[in-house]
A and B are shown apart, each in its own frame.
Chain A
Amino acid sequence: MISSLGSSFLIIALFLNIYTIFSMGIFLKYKKYQFKISSINSLYCSTLLIILSSFILIRELIQSNFNIAYISKYSSTNTPLIYKITGFWAGMEGSLLFWLFVLSIYSISVILMYKNKFTKMMPWVIIILMFIQLFFLIICCFFEDPFKPAININNNASGLNPLLQHPLMVIHPPLLYLGYIGFAVPFAFAIGALITQKIDSDWIKATRRWTLFPWGCLSVAIVLGGRWAYLELGWGGYWAWDPVENASFFPWLTGTAYLHSVLIQEKRNMLKGWNIILIMSTFTLTIFGTYLTRSGIISSIHAFAATDLGIWFFGFIIIIVLFNFFMLWKRKNLLVSQNKLDSIFSRESGFLFNNMLFVAICLAVLWGTMYPLISEAFTGIQITLGPSYFNRVIQPFGIILVFLTGVGPLLSWRKTSIKSMKRNFYRPSIFSLICTSVWSISYKVYDIYPVIYTFLVLFVIYIICSEFYKAVITRVKIHKETPIKAFVMLFKINRTRYGGYIVHLGVMIMFVGFIGKAFDKEANISIMPNETIELEDYKIEYQKFWLETPETNPENRSNHFSKIISMKIDKDNSFFTNLFPEKRFYIDQNNQPHSEVALKSTMLEDFYVVLGDVDMKTGLATLIIKINPMVSWVWIGTILLCIGVIICLDPKIRLK
């Protein structure tokens, strides 16, 4: 009963949505103000209905109403409460409703925030957002109805896959969606700016935070997804260049390019057309990413099912792309920039190169991801490009990009003199050269990429720190502040700049982790109880094995039983840690096995153990042991990145 209410709400929302677009169109054509009001009111109502039907789904999930097909697939009575709720976005239908939910929240926030601003542009922004919403409403109402009744009512449904029952899976998907969908807002503004022929800096300033926020969410979501894979999937890595991972990476790359290039538009009023193209691509890529993951056109270990939905998404993408081209063509005379680049050694050209690199990386990854399809079209054989392709192709771009991260702040707008460049580069280069040489010689590291990256990362970190140092010293001298107060004041006075530095610092620290990946070590071993083996500086003793079941340990093992072994690990002949890797079997899922990774993280390296299996008679255990240097730095860098983004999200907007 209540479920049919959910479906009806969605259908009413669909009609209201159409009415919103229609009525706003009438307002624009005949300038009758009441139609605008009516349009916005109906938008409020449709938003309310979408939110209500989302809550109905959540309520039914909590109550385990297995009359709804979706819930019987993704929830069970034994599923813990929090994972019952996350069932909202665990499956296709629910995640599409969730998409709708997030989009409607974004739309309504934009409308409330800019109620009396951008009077010309806003109606168009609303129309664009409502068209996007319309697409998802159609999908939810007619193709993937989350409230569809179950055919066979099964009161003991299998519940959420145990791999997804992880705290990171509570936050990763919503953040990813906040990131993906958020780009719809700057996109709508870009189109609105094109239509109303006001493509100066206003729309850029208005959407600064609306871009930064989704970008931050997307960045964190990508890393959290990696962390989940690292902790749960047990192959000891966090990034595998899987199509689904790449799908989230494309809009991140173009979005990052966009965040940088808008600065040129703000300062020099250049690249207006380019910025619009970038945000168009970013938005299109978010839809494309969804298409990749939802359609299953590329076989991937994550592959979602091949469904008929693909064709609708494909059609939607085609419409967006054609519309983008049409708009650009229609306004082509507006997009010519009045200012010109003065010098190759200027900050704007630095940003321009940064943009070219991000776009190049995006195209390279896109090419690699789509290669199976492209090769199939031309040769008839699906040819995959392995991770080696991505790692090889991206390295040089990455190197120049890291270099530019350091150089950027040292370049001035318009033109930088060779003399000042020499002066500014001298110290960081020497510092970094000495540190890198010492490291490389003492650890006998002569691989080209790790050495170059180490040099550059240290170079950039030095420059960022010296930028802070110089600014603090100046403030201390001029304003007679204490160094700590001066440091805090920097963020108050120029949030974007110093917040941006913190983001860069975070990314550089993440790079320390990426460099460490080159030195990962792995051993596959089989071992008997009381046996000891040595691996690098570690001595590993396999002590004992046992079984825990819901009967022996009802508190922690209510839905699975587990084979556990205990290991004592010494490092350099002194006690390091005890580890208890497990092999679990989830009862509700036909005893689906799952290896619970045992991990000891330090700042220098992670000691990572996966229990393959243990013979409960003899105790013979097979283990994968990985020693992954510097992984912690990836997570620490992400936290710093997060702090930087929060600093940049200036609560006081300054609009003309």
Chain B
Amino acid sequence: MINKKFLLVILSFVTVSIGWITLDYKAVEVPYVSIQDLQTKQYEQERFRLGGYVEPGSINYSDDKLTVSFNLTQKKSNLPVQHFSAAIPDLFGDSAEVIIEGKYMNGVLIADNLMTKCASRYEEESNTY
């Protein structure tokens, strides 16, 4: 008897958990897109993640040095990026491989997250963009 009751408790727990885990994704989803897709397609999500290289010579700092703007390149397409932060990652620079995350507004990606490939990357990465 008690074990049936138990099974019921477990089953309801599992159902509720699955429901909770898969609930409402649009707010937390960050699609990993290419520049071309970002510029041409319509997305429901707010935030995007892109990978690519920093176009050499495109890095510009604001006067107070708190905002950096640069162009992200993937094969042939380019995307202007703006990022507000006092400390950009150490490995950031011309031709650095970066992953950026943020909102896309008026043709510019306002990045709130700028990542360069990290130190525990043990081997040379092949060129995938």
Contact = CB atoms under 8 A, between A and B. Distances in A.
B94 to A, nearest CB: 13
Contacts of A344: 2, 5-6, 9
Contact of B125 (A234, A303, A393): A303
Contacts of A233: 118
Interface in B36-52: 37, 45, 47, 49, 51
Contact of B124 (A305, A342, A356, A384): A305
Contact of A305 (B32, B64, B122): B122
A375 B124 CA distance: 27
A515 B55 CA distance: 41
A244 interface: yes
Contact of B87 (A299, A388, A622): A622
A383 B32 contact: yes
B20 to A, nearest CB: 7
B119 A524 contact: no
A491 B2 CA distance: 36
Given A343-B2, A386-B47, A622-B87, A393 B21 contact: yes
Interface in A347-388: 349, 353, 356, 360, 363-364, 367, 372, 375, 381-386, 388
A302 B128 CA distance: 16
Given A305-B125, A381-B33, A384-B30, A526 B2 contact: no
A229 to B, nearest CB: 10
B120 interface: yes
A592 B121 CA distance: 15
A594 B30 contact: no
Given A304-B121, A306-B126, A392 B65 contact: no
A307 B123 CA distance: 9
A340 B122 contact: no
A525 interface: yes
Nearest to B113: A386
A389 B27 CA distance: 9
Contacts of B88: 612
Nearest to B120: A302
Interface in A525-548: 525-526
Contacts of A303: 117-118, 121, 125
Contacts of A615: 65
Contacts of A301: 99, 115-118
A616 to B, nearest CB: 13
A92 B122 contact: yes
Nearest to B9: A344
B31 A612 contact: no
B65 A384 contact: no
Given A306-B125, A393-B20, A525-B86, A383 B66 contact: no
Chain A interface residue bracket vs B: 35 or more
B32 A164 contact: no
A413 B17 CA distance: 27
Nearest to A597: B87
Interface string B1-33: 011011001100110010011000101111111
A363 B123 CA distance: 30
A532 B37 CA distance: 46
Nearest to B30: A384
Nearest to B62: A526
Given A360-B17, A384-B30, A622 B90 contact: no
Contacts of A594: 90
B129 to A, nearest CB: 11
B31 A592 contact: no
Given A234-B87, A344-B5, A612-B86, A381 B21 contact: no
Given A526-B86, A611-B87, 18 more contacts: A91-B123, A244-B120, A301-B115, A305-B123, A344-B9, A349-B6, A353-B13, A381-B31, A383-B30, A392-B28, A393-B20, A524-B66, A594-B90, A610-B86, A612-B87, A612-B88, A623-B86, A623-B87
Closest 4 CB pairs of A and B: A305-B123, A612-B87, A163-B119, A382-B32
Interface of A: 90-92, 161, 163-164, 233-234, 244, 296, 299, 301-307, 340-344, 349, 353, 356, 360, 363-364, 367, 372, 375, 381-386, 388-389, 392-393, 396-397, 524-526, 592-595, 610-613, 615, 620, 622-624
11 contacts: A92-B123, A301-B117, A303-B121, A304-B121, A306-B128, A367-B21, A375-B31, A611-B87, A622-B64, A622-B65, A622-B87
